[in-house]
């Protein structure tokens, strides 16, 4: 037998699939890059937060005691409404261009990929509110301790707003008039976050201690972080059927 006629079988292995953590990192980087290209979509919510917080002192008047009393509530309500404004495009753009279907068909769990999208959403729409809150709180005459507690409660509370809001965005995806229905679904869920967030700042201002309020906010964050990605994934699969 001619030695040149002997063929050696070549075994080719299939390319290794990315791990769920790698898939999450890819989705996170993609959404952050898209956000940098579409600055108007998330800057609008930040400007809304700044405008609402800046106009209230002009409407109420320069009385320091009144401004200190309403300041935490005004800033928290402004952050809540700004968070709702930023939810409109959370899944809609991916649904329109087919990216959402590709995520649902990928080997990585959809709930993990949704968690990455929610983290990106908070980084571009929630974190700026946290960073701006101490500066805006100065015009209400809040002291340093109150400003620190305000930033802390927003740091804990704004991710809860994003996580709970994502459930409403997923449930109303592709529904005509979904914005109104989304607001009706989310406002009752947002009330506890608003109450304990403002209550923590008020308790700090009165010297009563805000540990209990902060503990409740942390519990809400842990609960929503565990439940929201799974619930969003289930709702998105229903929307794609």
Section 115-120 average pLDDT = 92
- Give residue 143's pLDDT: 86
Which residue, 177, 171, 184, is CA-closest to 239? 171
Is 108 a residue whose pLDDT tops 50? yes
pLDDT grade, residue 178 (50/70/90)?
low
- Give residue 69's pLDDT: 87
Is 193 a residue whose pLDDT tops 90? yes
Is 95 a residue whose pLDDT tops 50? yes
Is 221 a residue whose pLDDT tops 90? yes
Per-residue pLDDT of 20-51, as tens digits, reads: 788 888 888 988 888 888 777 778 888 999 99
Structure tokens given for 7: 């063929």
Structure tokens given for 98: 């087919």
Section 198-209 average pLDDT = 88
pLDDT grade, residue 4 (50/70/90)?
very low
- Give residue 58's pLDDT: 83
Per-residue pLDDT of 41-85, as tens digits, reads: 778 888 999 998 888 888 887 788 888 888 899 999 999 999 888
Which residue, 146, 6, 165, is CA-closest to 80? 165
Is 91 a residue whose pLDDT tops 70? yes
Is 3 a residue whose pLDDT tops 90? no
Specify the 3-state DSSP secondary structure of 208.
Answer: coil
- Give residue 106's pLDDT: 80
Which residue, 23, 178, 19, 21, is CA-closest to 90? 178
Is 109 a residue whose pLDDT tops 70? yes
Single pTM value for the model: 0.86
pLDDT, mean over the chain: 84
In the chain, alpha helices (H): 20-37, 39-60, 64-85, 92-97, 99-105, 110-121, 127-137, 144-171, 178-206, 211-240
Report how far residue 241's alpha carbon sits from residue 225's, in angstroms, rounded to the nearest whole number.
25
- Give residue 8's pLDDT: 39
The upper half-sphere exposure of residue 21, i.e. CA atoms within 13 Å in the direction of its Cβ, equals: 0
230 phi/psi in degrees, rounded to 5? -65, -45
157 and 182 in contact (C-beta within 8 Å)? no
- In Å, the largest CA–CA distance within the chain is 103
- Give residue 54's pLDDT: 87
pLDDT grade, residue 6 (50/70/90)?
very low
Report how far residue 229's alpha carbon sits from residue 167's, in angstroms, rounded to the nearest whole number.
8
Is 11 a residue whose pLDDT tops 50? no
Per-residue pLDDT of 123-157, as tens digits, reads: 998 999 999 999 999 888 888 899 999 999 999 99
Report how far residue 98's alpha carbon sits from residue 237's, in angstroms, rounded to the nearest whole number.
13
């Amino acid at each position: 037998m001619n030695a040149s006629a002997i063929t050696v079988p070549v075994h080719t292995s299939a390319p290794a699939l990315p791990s769920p953590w790698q898939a999450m990192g890819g989705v996170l980087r993609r959404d952050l890059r898209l956000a940098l290209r579409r600055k108007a979509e998330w800057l609008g919510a930040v400007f809304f937060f700044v405008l609402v917080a800046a106009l209230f002192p002009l409407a109420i008047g320069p009385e320091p005691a009144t401004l200190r009393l309403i300041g935490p509530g005004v800033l928290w309500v402004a952050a809540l409404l700004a968070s709702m404004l930023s939810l409109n495009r959370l899944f809609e753009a991916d649904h329109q261009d087919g990216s959402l279907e590709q995520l649902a068909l990928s080997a990585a769990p959809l709930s993990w990929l949704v968690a990455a999208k929610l983290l990106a959403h908070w980084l571009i729409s929630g974190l700026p509110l946290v960073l701006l809150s101490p500066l805006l709180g100065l015009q209400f005459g809040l002291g340093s301790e109150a400003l620190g507690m305000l930033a802390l409660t927003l740091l804990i509370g704004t991710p809860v707003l994003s996580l709970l809001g994502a459930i409403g965005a997923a449930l109303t995806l592709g529904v005509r008039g979904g914005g109104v229905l989304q607001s009706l679904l989310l406002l009752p869920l947002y009330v506890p976050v608003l109450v304990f967030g403002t209550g923590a700042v008020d308790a700090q201002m009165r010297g009563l201690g805000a540990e209990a309020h902060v503990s409740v906010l942390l519990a809400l964050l842990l609960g929503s972080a565990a439940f929201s990605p799974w619930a969003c994934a289930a709702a998105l699969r229903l929307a794609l059927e």
